[in-house]
A and B are shown apart, each in its own frame.
Chain A
Amino acid sequence: SYVLTQPPSVSVAPGQTARITCEENNIGSKSVHWYQQRPGQAPVLVVNDSTDRPSGIPERFSGSKSGNTATLSISRVEAGDEADYYCQVWESSSDYVFGSGTKVTVL
């Protein structure tokens, strides 16, 4: 089955940049989507189709891909960015797949 690998946790100081990775051998050919889930809330789409930012999402959130890795970057991190972040793709053999999630802690 298709597996998207994310680090369990990332810690970052306020004002710095957090980078969350999502790895899979064939990810370069896929649309990758990123979601933010704050405690007790539903997920929110923060990056669509690997690099696009939906309306209302701050410019501090950006997505990129290189080789086997997709990355969500959060610049000028704020306390409110503390959340779980999930990557997601559509894979023909495994349907819609989510990564295991990364907990971002703001120090």
Chain B
Amino acid sequence: QVQLVQSGAEVKKVGASVKVSCKASGYSFTGYYMHWVRQAPGQGLEWMGWIDPNSGGTYYAQKFQDRVTMTRDTSISTAYMELSRLRFDDTAVYYCMRDNGATGGFDSWGQGTLVTVSS
């Protein structure tokens, strides 16, 4: 079955960077776009962008364009999301999700990675 397994929780200082991984299994990794969203404590879902694991092409939400980088390693079926110049309000759970490829829905989600930004 399709499974997305994310890396563990992180605690970072303001101004640092964080890199979260998302390992896919149970399907062809290069056949589906991978997206990232985040959810601040007690808040809703905020979409950050996507990566095409086949080509490496990316598209980022305007809000994150100057701070986020999404990459992938097809040899290990893993996608990465790096967020730089961290601020306190970047404290959130970050999720990777598989795009179902047809209608823009997200049919599989990682378990989430809590990133805490502290001073």
Contacts and interface: CB of A to CB of B under 8 A. Distances in A.
Interface size class of B (residues with CB under 8 A): 20 to 34
A49 B105 contact: yes
A42 B45 contact: no
B106 interface: yes
A42 B3 CA distance: 13
B109 A48 contact: no
Nearest to B47: A96
Contacts of A42: 95, 109-112
A13 interface: no
A65 to B, nearest CB: 13
B105 A98 contact: no
Contacts of A49: 102-103, 105
Contact of A33 (B104, B110, B112): B104
A86 B107 contact: no
A54 B104 CA distance: 14
A33 B61 contact: no
B45 A43 contact: yes
B112 A48 contact: no
Given A31-B103, A48-B103, A95 B109 contact: no
B110 to A, nearest CB: 7
Which of B45, B106, B107 has its CB near the most chain A CB atoms (within 10 A)?
A: B45
A103 to B, nearest CB: 11
Interface in A36-53: 42-45, 48-49
B68 to A, nearest CB: 13
Nearest to B4: A42
B46 interface: yes
Nearest to A55: B107
Nearest first, the 8 A-B pairs at minimum CB distance are: A33-B105, A90-B104, A49-B103, A96-B47, A42-B109, A31-B103, A98-B45, A48-B105
